[in-house]
Amino acid sequence: MSDHDAPPTLGLSTGPATSLAYHTGAWRTERPVYVDLAPPCSLACPSGEDIRAWLGSTQEGEAGFEAAWRQIVAANPLPAVMGRICYHPCQAACNRGEVDEEVGINAVERFLGDTAIARGWALPEPGASSGRRVLVVGSGPAGLSAAYHLRRRGHEVVVREAAAQPGGMMRYGIPAYRLPRDVLAAEIRRIEATGVRIECGARVESLDEAQAEFDAVVLTVGAGVAHHVDIPAGAAAKIVDAIDVLRDVASGHAPLLGRRVAVYGGGNTAMDAARTARRLGAQDAVVVYRRTREQMPAHPTELEDAVGEGVRVQWLSTISEVSGPTVTIERMELDEDGRPRGTGEFEELDADTVMLAVGQEADLSLLAGVTDVEVRDGVIAVDPGTLMTGRDGVFAAGDASPGSRTATFAIGRGARAAAAVDAWLASRVLPAEPVLREATADRLTPWYYSDAPQQHRAELEAARRVTGFEEVLTGLDAEHAVFEARRCMSCGSCFECDNCFGMCPDDAIRKLGPGMRYEIDYDYCKGCGICAAECPCGAIDMIPEVR
């Protein structure tokens, strides 16, 4: 409807003038401004995904799936893999956890990843050729991520992998019941399709030779060597490294472990080893861990799944001796600082095999004799901003470099290394990662988000799980994935709910149309602050008016 028609003029005006002539904006002491803040999910995502954006595309249903997937692969080329194995720190940070339950981001990522594989979506075409050649050493998540992001920038990329198959720990460390190999293979093939060459069975022995052949080198050799502890053991004792068992199983050589298996350690590898032992026929799989549940480094869901499959955990215990099928365990207690110490009380445990899962180290034999690449605390020292080692043109990322040893962190650092290599090759300075303002939970008005519980992925019956290496978690269907995506509250970013527009007592907000959001008419806005208070997602700030 238009504004008032012009009043009739009969010499004198008889019709009323309109209030539009009066600019109430002059009353304002504070003005509302739209802001775009960083959501906690993305801030917590080590891979650097713009989670809010791709959930936003998914919300539109079928029409938005491909766009959503493309928003994921802008950062992470392995959505179907990460939709399965990521420990999703995004969900732990999700503000929705304070309303009902966090958004099942990981499940939606997997849905999009699986959909992309099923429909054969290709990764973005690489940019114009730079004429530069980069070697990536190792094909784990860090290496694949670095290779993909380097290729996108137009560089020629070769990945050299010592093992027979690409994938690193994703291939040889994570059991198939968590990550089916066809999924991994499909996502690796897709990276190769962009022109990345992956050479397997090609161990890089000399850094100097690599540098002679390539313009830059990225070391992503991982941490695939088991850490050892000294345990007195009799001749008949069978002690193996958990990581070796996982690797053997992944290579199709399932070892004989016996009916009773003890796993020493409390990390995710220990959980994988115990669950794998159950699948290999062990009736009793006991995790021996020297601290308490609260201190356990394994992800809580990993522990839950293991326990759900009949794995037992012996808390506050260390293995002091292994003699044949008998393991001697010392009970521990925590001292005032929360550190475990021996109590002098011992007990015995029957175990045909002891699997050691007490940490992993990087295989840095490549750096033997290399003096200008520093190794500190068992990992390659790098500049925290550029990830460049002490040697010009040599970069490092992933488990062999400092930081969290997770696939998602490795993907993020791989991407960062790619950006750093690209900048270095062009003699540009790599800009620092921006510090973003977070959309904290206190900015939200949760009232507007109707209660909508998380669409839990159906889990296979625990009884069925231990019979084989079938995938434990099933995926969401399209309907549930869309529903789950719609549970996203879009923290700190306008999603066009119309609250500001509809609730302005002064009719001082203009709606600009789909995707265009709104505009405040400061000629009339009195600065009451209702729009900011009732914005569900905290996308409006009130700032002092300066005249």
Instruction: Using CB under 8 A, list all residues that contact other proteins.
Output: 1, 3-4, 13, 16-24, 27, 59-60, 447-450, 452, 483, 486-490, 495-499, 501-508, 510-515, 521, 523-524, 526-530, 532-534, 536, 542
Taking the complex as a whole, the smallest distance from the CB of residue 450 to other proteins amounts, in Å, to 3
State the nearest-atom distance from the C-beta of 17 to other proteins, in Å: 5
Q: Output the smallest distance, CB 516 to other proteins, in A.
A: 10
The answer to whether 201 touches 164, Cβ cutoff 8 Å, is yes
Are 275 and 251 contacting, i.e. CB atoms less than 8 angstroms apart?
A: no
Q: How far apart are CA 256 and CA 282, in angstroms?
A: 9
CB 204 to other proteins: min, Å: 49
Enumerate the β-bridge partners of residue 38: 438
d(CA 177, CA 165): 18
**Cβ proximity to other proteins, 133 vs 510, nearer residue:** 510
Which of 22, 346 has the CB closer to other proteins? 22
Nearer to other proteins, 16 or 120 (CB): 16
Q: Which is nearer to other proteins, 363 or 541 (CB)?
A: 541
Q: At what angle do helices 300-308 and 268-279 cross, to 10 degrees?
A: 20
Kindly list the distances between the CA atom of residue 422 and the CA atoms of 136, 381, 386, 395, 435, in Å, as whole numbers in the listed order: 13, 20, 11, 11, 22
Q: Vertex 98, ends 93 and 101: CA angle to 5°?
A: 80
Of residues 259 and 517, the one with the C-beta less far from other proteins = 517
At 511, is the secondary structure helix, strand, or coil?
Answer: strand
Residue number with CB closer to other proteins (375 or 533): 533
Q: Are 57 and 49 in contact (CB under 8 A)?
A: no
Which residues is 510 bridged to in the sheet?
519
Q: How far is the CB of 506 from other proteins (least distance, A)?
A: 5
Nearer to other proteins, 37 or 183 (CB): 37
Q: Are 102 and 487 in contact (CB under 8 A)?
A: no
Whether residue 393 contacts residue 427, with contact meaning beta carbons closer than 8 Å, is answered with no
CB of 512 to other proteins, least distance (A): 8
Contact 216, 333 (CB under 8 A): no
Q: Which of these, 138, 133, 159, lies nearest to 365 by C-alpha position?
A: 138
Closest approach, Cβ 57 to other proteins, in A, equals 12
Residue 303 or 531: the one with the smaller Cβ distance to other proteins is: 531
95-to-24, 331, 417, 531 alpha-carbon distances in Å: 37, 40, 30, 21
Looking up tokens 């009736």 gives 283
CA 400 to mean position of chain CA atoms: 18
Residue closer to other proteins, measured from CB, 66 or 521: 521
> 74-90 burial string, b = 16+ CB within 10 Å, else e?
bbbbbbbbbbbbbbbbb
Q: Is the dihedral of CA 463, 467, 472, 475 positive or negative?
A: negative
Q: Which residue, 342 or 529, has its beta carbon nearer to other proteins?
A: 529
Q: Report the nearest approach of other proteins to the CB of residue 52 (Å).
A: 12
Quote the least distance from Cβ 69 to other proteins, whole Å.
Answer: 19
Cβ 521 to other proteins, closest distance in Å?
7
Minimum distance from residue 217 beta carbon to other proteins (Å): 46
Would you say 303 or 485 has its CB closer to other proteins? 485
Phi and psi of 216, rounded to 5°?
-150, 160
Contact 199, 160 (CB under 8 A): yes
